Amino acid sequence: MPPPLCPHCGARIPARARCCPACGSDEQTGWSEETNTGGLDLPDEEFNYEEFVQEEFGGGRVRPKGIHWFWWLTALILAILLLAMFLR
Ligand SMILES: [Zn+2]
């Protein structure tokens, strides 16, 4: 049974909830702040940790890195080609 109020964020927790709907604390993490700081493997299917992290940290790092440098390289090559055409 969860506590009636989340000790971490103070949100009201439904009696049969396995984790806090507001901050994701659950009985396995001791209803503690550790859930927010990451590094814990949560076996709880109801709580999507990845989604939580994405929302919490803006989701900027989720993009695959390979695409990024590839397009930079393409842009650089195009710029050099244009420059070469101008200088000829
Ligand atoms: Zn909470």
Ligand 1 centre distance from Cα of residue 36 (Å): 10
pLDDT score recorded for residue 54: 72
Q: H helices of the chain, where?
A: 34-37, 49-56, 65-87
pLDDT score recorded for residue 82: 95
pTM recorded for the entire structure:
0.32
pLDDT score recorded for residue 80: 96
Residue 85 lies in a domain: no
Residue 76 lies in a domain: no
Half-sphere exposure of 30 (CA within 13 A, CB side): 4
Whether residue 38 contacts residue 23, with contact meaning beta carbons closer than 8 Å, is answered with: no
Residue 80 lies in a domain: no
Ligand 1 centre distance from Cα of residue 60 (Å): 24
Q: What whole-number distance in Å separates Cα of residue 3 and Cα of residue 27? A: 9
Question: How many domains, the chain?
Answer: 1
pLDDT score recorded for residue 45: 59
Return per-residue pLDDT of the chain as tens, 88 residues: 677 888 888 888 888 888 888 888 887 776 655 545 555 555 555 667 777 777 777 655 555 556 678 888 999 999 999 999 998 7
Residue 37 lies in a domain: yes
pLDDT score recorded for residue 35: 47
Task: Classify 19 as helix, strand or coil.
Answer: strand
Ligand 1 centre distance from Cα of residue 46 (Å): 15
- What's the first-to-final CA gap in the chain, in angstroms? 77
In which domain, by residue range, is 53 found? 1-62
Residue 26 lies in a domain: yes
Ligand 1 centre distance from Cα of residue 31 (Å): 8
Ligand 1 centre distance from Cα of residue 83 (Å): 57
pLDDT score recorded for residue 66: 62
| Placement of tokens 């200088």 in the chain | 87
